[in-house]
Amino acid sequence: MPASPASARSAPWGTVAVALGSFLALLVAVWFAAAHFRVLETTGGSRTTFVLSFALLFAPFWAFGFGAAAPLRRALHIRWARVLAPGLLASSYLVFSLPRGEFQWRYCAALAGIPILVAILLEFCPRPEL
């Protein structure tokens, strides 16, 4: 029996709920693992910024694993937005380094620049015909 239109619309929200719930569970696990393995003693700073930095860095991978590619493709319809969006990955470095007083421009530039350069190559280089 085919799915009704109402269930077809609600399926993505179920996926979003599972993705968010499991991601929050992962963050709770990272929170306790950081305490158990004494990560903060070696990295300094607070556990909150450590977990938030991890969340910002890992969230895109988690989201794409749960099917965020198509909605993101629709949202980023402007070419330069698609090129600059990967630079947001550097936000995890900012959250991690600024409270600790360890910020360095060269690391920030590399963490933002490398994903942007890869996006430029993928966006503007001609694709071979198959």
The yes-or-no verdict on residue 9 having pLDDT over 50 is no
Tell me the percentage of the chain whose pLDDT exceeds 70: 92
The yes-or-no verdict on residue 11 having pLDDT over 70 is no
pLDDT digits (tens, 9 = 90+) for 101-116: 999 999 999 999 999 9
The yes-or-no verdict on residue 5 having pLDDT over 60 is no
| pTM of the shown model | 0.80
What does the pLDDT read at residue 45?
A: 77
Q: Which two tokens stand for residue 11?
A: 């399926």
Q: What is the mean pLDDT of residues 90-105?
A: 94
What does the pLDDT read at residue 12?
A: 79
What does the pLDDT read at residue 126?
A: 86
Which long-range contacts does 99-103 make (Cβ < 8 Å, 24+ apart)?
99/45, 99/46, 99/49, 100/43, 100/44, 100/45, 100/49
pLDDT digits (tens, 9 = 90+) for 12-64: 788 889 999 999 999 999 999 998 998 888 888 788 999 999 999 999 999 99
Q: Are 90 and 106 in contact (CB under 8 A)?
A: no
